[in-house]
Amino acid sequence: MSNADELLRIEGIRKTFPGVVALDSVDFDLRRGEVHVLLGENGAGKSTLIKMLSGAYRPDAGRILAGGEEVRIHGAQDSERLGIATIYQEFNLVPDLTVAENIFLGRQPRRLGVIDRKRMDAEAAVLLERVGVNVPPRARVRELGIARLQMVEIAKALSLNARVLIMDEPTAVLTSEEVDKLFAIVRRLREDGVGIVFITHHLEEIAALGDRVTVIRDGRSVGQVPASTPQDELVRLMVGRSIEQQYPRERAETGAALLSVEGLTRDGVFHDVSFEVRAGEVVGVAGLVGAGRTEVVRAVFGADPYDRGTVRVAGAPLPRHDVNAAMTAGIGLVPEDRKGQGLVLDQSVEENLGLVTMRAATRGGLVDLKGQREAAARIAAQLGVRMAGLGQQVRTLSGGNQQKVVIGKWLLADTKVLILDEPTRGIDVGAKVEIYQLVNELTAAGAAVLMISSDLPEVLGMSDRVLVMAQGRIAGELPAEQATQDAVMALAVSAPATPRTTPTTTEVEAGRGR
């Protein structure tokens, strides 16, 4: 490799926060026209590293070189000037502005001191065509689904003439078809000489797209290997141990039905949905995007209304659209959007763990703070939450540890029926196995688990029975021994007896109706 091919080099980077060493002697380099995968568990230090490249953090030690010369990145403008663009998991777009306005935000072309909208729209159209997305430049960003938002972010990066493109979990909320389109764009950018830093927890994507892999563990770079390295070896490097079973389901003895749903209907969304979940079992819910899975469980939990049908917990009917009644009856919901719906990000780990139990811990208007703190410490230790302490703000935790906190608050509430909606999305393989073991502990203790997942191997590996939804109805039920990928997909694409209202393109792209 010639020096001219090296776009970026990081040498001996160290970064500390109060009580935490986030990065320690990390080395990394990126070449022109390659996809370099950055791999590591949640909390390994990947996000800290890319935030230093984007100017959000400054290193305490070590150096960053761009084009062979040492540089200092003190903010986003320095990063942009060096040709570095970052696409985060949470998109950095303004919903009320147009696509073109977002692409050129702060850099709008001007004519005689006035924004030249005609030129801005024309240049945006060229960029959008380059990334292969058919979106009008004057469309409002709030009207777009997740897949198109992703492409707008890439177009925005290209408008900066980025030589280095950092993509943080870009496939986490995309369908398989959308992933294929994204990969085609990434390959085209690679051919154009752009260097791409690609962060993913989907190990199968590494060999499909990557050239090299740098593995970070506990804030240190522990190895650089070819993208063709077997997945077992990547896992060993990433978590420091071999994982014998990716889906360690331990079947428990089943008991009476804890959750019974009969004829649940919300006109135009889902129709005549009936199922039950027994004590000691995991029931998986599979289906394509738009099948209505999330809408059904939100209705069961009382978060959304429904028109007809009944929900019973341990035989007792549950009032409609009443979250408090659902929680009192022993239902817990871990939502697919853990940051937006499952956590209060500005509060501490302790406060988030106590959200569900605070009412029960209140006597005479006073909260038993000592009891809450002791319970939070116990559950955090049980779940292995990596944190500086219970007072740490939950937004500063890694994705896997945030998910443990969301689950932990329901464990403290002694939940009978736990609904898990996309429980391991954006979580590394080590944290996934820890959550699966937790599911085993819950069912062994007599709880019932209803699990929605778009990760089909996860559904097959962890479920005792699989319900398959198609177009708002239960298309079929498969026992574990009959639940193969082919059998599930055959049901998932089947047409129901009575058609439902088809979700809009935007709803499907946004992932609503999972």
Cα separation of 315 and 417, whole Å? 13
Copy the structure tokens of residue 95. Answer: 């919903």
Q: Which of 158-162, 219-223, 358-362, 483-487 is the least confident region?
A: 358-362
Cα separation of 107 and 101, whole Å? 9
244 has a pLDDT exceeding 70: no
Q: Compute the C-alpha angle 400/404/406, nearest 5°.
A: 115
The residue count of the chain comes to 514
> What pLDDT is recorded for position 366?
62
Give 513's pLDDT tier (boundaries 50, 70, 90).
very low
Q: Which of 143-152, 163-172, 209-218, 460-469 is the least confident region?
A: 143-152
CA 191 to chain centre: 29
DSSP code per residue over 128-154: HHHTT----TTSBGGG--HHHHHHHHH
- Compute the Cα dihedral for 128, 134, 137, 140 and give only its sign: negative
3-state DSSP helix/strand/coil % of the chain, to nearest 5? 35, 25, 40
pLDDT tens by residue, 261-272: 999 999 999 999
Average pLDDT over residues 22-28: 93
DSSP-derived letter for residue 105 is: T
* Cβ within 8 Å of residue 105, ≥6 positions away: 94, 97, 156
CA distances from 78 to 10, 81, 156, 376 (A): 16, 5, 17, 42
Cα separation of 493 and 383, whole Å? 37
pLDDT tens by residue, 294-344: 999 999 999 999 999 999 999 999 999 999 999 999 999 998 877 778 888
Check: CB of residue 431 under 8 Å from CB of residue 407. Answer: no
Q: Compute the C-alpha angle 236/239/245, nearest 5°.
A: 65
Copy the structure tokens of residue 19. Answer: 């009580």
pLDDT tens by residue, 354-372: 877 665 555 556 666 777 7
Give 387's pLDDT tier (boundaries 50, 70, 90).
confident
> What pLDDT is recorded for position 505?
34
